[in-house]
Amino acid sequence: MEKPCILLTRSFPKLVRKRAARDYRATVNRSDTLWQGAELVARAKSMDGLLISAANKMTREVICQLPESVRIIATYSSGFEHIDLNAAKLRGIAITNTPGVMAEATADIALLLLLAAARRAREGFELISSGKWKGWAPEQLLGVHPAGKKLGIVGNGSIGRALAHRAKAIGMKIHYHNRTRLPSSLEDGAIYHGTLEGLLSVSAFLSLNCDLTSATKGMLNKKNIKLLPKGAIIINTSRGEVVDDEAIIGGLESGHLSAVGFDVYRNEPNLDSRYLSLSNVFLLPHLGSATNETRDEMGFLALDNLDAFFKGQMPPNLLV
């Protein structure tokens, strides 16, 4: 039997490409230019399946225009808000994702953001890189000590719990809010809040680890930011659309927020340029899952989904 044809829309890690080439007639986007819209549709001609990234927007229009040959789209991501699932279901196209494998790497980045924002790492680096550092001084760049502070986690799934484990190790007290309370075995001593407002009111540090949904989009707005204790620090490794940039920037400028650490943004890579001029903002370029091990695992899981589908089996991470 002839191997299925698949299109890799990005230049995924070497081992992922190697496995894809072994098991499929694989076409790879070696230039790693971002294919969207009509170009993506044209590239999909004669393909049986697509292996896409979260940056490839699979809108209703794109999905409706895909060749009839395309029967599955495997996204190299845990999130799937870039795919119109209803349109895919109507077309009879299977959609899979790669949940779970990026929890530890993303939690590392969340803790890095937390510490960097609390200890004014951006300002420290800029002081040295500008050549203006004159040596140690008693009140130079005084930050916030996380130990003993309350860390509020919004979305205490695998990433949130991995962050909680790390934060407890440096002496933080863990609180969280989910749609439903976790079993005590998974809470690991964390204090549950049935409402977001209740969590915000006690969170000296707030980490956003929730999925992007209609309920969470713009969740951290001006009204909710005011509920945080004065001087709170916000960390975001979920999705940029979860926060209202105008409200965050206003909170930083007013002093109600002492700092933020962000790895994700609205309209990536075109983030709000005002963040760049604020010294109490620590920014990373969406590095949550960016380790060799994690990116390989993501690719292997995406290929596991494709393998199962083309063997007539249920993919392990089928969405529709």
Q: Which residue among 61, 246, 268, 293 is the active-site one?
A: 268
**Hey, what are 97's tokens?**
């994702």
Rounded to whole angstroms, how far apart are CA atoms 170 and 159?
A: 17
Q: Beta-carbon neighbour count of residue 204 at 10 Å?
A: 21
Tell me which residue of 260, 263, 220 sits closest to 243, measured CA to CA: 220
Q: What is the H or E stretch that residue 14 is in? A: helix 14-23
How far apart are alpha carbons 285 and 10 in whole angstroms? 18
Cα–Cα separations (whole angstroms), residue 131 to 116, 123, 134? 20, 12, 8
Q: Is there a catalytic annotation at residue 253?
A: no
Catalytic residue among 119, 161, 175, 239: 239
286 is catalytic: yes
Determine contact, residues 212/243, Cβ cutoff 8 Å. no
Nearest of 215, 262, 256 to residue 239 by alpha carbon? 262
C-alpha pair distances (Å), 72 with each of 32, 53, 60, 108: 21, 14, 15, 32
Q: Which residues are catalytic?
A: 239, 268, 286
